[in-house]
Amino acid sequence: MASFSEYTEYLDQGLQWVMDILPNLITATIILIVGYWVVKFINRLVRKFFEKKDYDLALESFLQSFINIALKLLLFVLVITQLGVKSSSLVALVGAAGLAVGLALQGSLSNFAGGVLILVFKPFKVGDFISAQGVDGTVKEITIFTTKLNTFGNQLAILPNGQLSNNNIINYNAEETRRDKIDIGIGYGSNIKKAKDILLAICSSHEGILEDPAPAVFVGELADSSVNLTLRFWAKNEDFWAAHFFVIEETKARFDKEGIEIPFPQLDVHQKG
C-alpha cells in the first residue's frame, strides 16, 4: 500500500503535468473558438459571393459544402498540433489510420465520388423534377455526399450520391415539353368516332396543350367490357399537370353530356326459373 509521501509525489507530478499542458490547452481552446468563428465568417463570405454570381446552383451547393468541411478539418489539425501532437506524428497517425478509416468510410467516399460525377455530368440540376431510387421529387440541394429532394407531399427525401450516380434517373425537366398518355374506356355501344372527336376538341380548348405535335386518339385495346381509347398530347413542363387533370375532368363531363358511356366493373347474374 502506497504511503502518504508517495501519494503526495503522484499529486505533485499530476499538478506539474497540468501546469505544463495548461498554456497549450488554453491556446488550443482559443484557437478552437476563434477558428470556429473564422470558419463561419468565411462560409458566410462564400455564400454571399455565390449569391452575387450566376453559377449553377448545384455547383454552388457542392462547393459550399466542400469548403465548410475542408476548413473544419484544417481547424482540427491546428488544434491537435497546438496540444503537443507533432506534425510528423500526426501525419504518421493519419497514415496508419488511413486504411481503417477508408474501409469504414467506403460509403461516404462513394457518395463523395458520386457527388463529383453528378456535378461534372449534370444528369439533373437544382429545381429539376426527377424520379430516382423509388422517390419522385424536385431537387432542392446537392451536397458533397447527398442530394435532397422535395416530394409531392413536401417531405424531404435525402438520397446518397453514390447510389444516385450509379442507378437509373428520370429527369422530367431535361426537355422543355412532355407527352401525356391517358387511357379512357367507352362502352361497346358508344360511337367511337364521336368520342375521338370530343377528346380532340377538349385538347384544342386548353391553351396549355400544344398544337404541334398535334394531339392524337386511337383505339388502344378491345377489352372485356370496354373499348379503350388512348389519348396522347404534348404540353410544356409548366403546363403539363394542369392540362392532364383538365382533360380527365372535362372528358367525364363531355361524355356524360353527349351520351358516351364510360363503363365500370359490374357483374350480370342470370337466374333460370
Q: Is pTM, for the whole model, over 0.85?
A: no
For cell 439533373, the residue is: 124
Question: Bridge-partner residues for 231, per DSSP?
Answer: 182, 217
4-104 belongs to CATH 3.90.1150.10:
no
Looking at domain 177-258, its CATH class is alpha beta
**pLDDT tens track for 75-125:** 887 777 777 666 555 555 555 555 454 544 556 778 888 888 888 888 998
**pLDDT tens track for 191-212:** 999 999 999 999 999 999 999 9
Q: Which grid cell is 46?
A: 462564400
Question: Where in the chain are the domains?
Answer: 4-104, 115-171, 177-258
Question: Bridge-partner residues for 267, per DSSP?
Answer: none
Which ranges constitute the DSSP H helices of 83-155?
Answer: 87-104, 106-121
What pLDDT does residue 60 have? 72
**pLDDT tens track for 8-39:** 766 666 666 666 666 777 777 888 888 888 88
Looking at domain 115-171, its CATH class is mainly beta
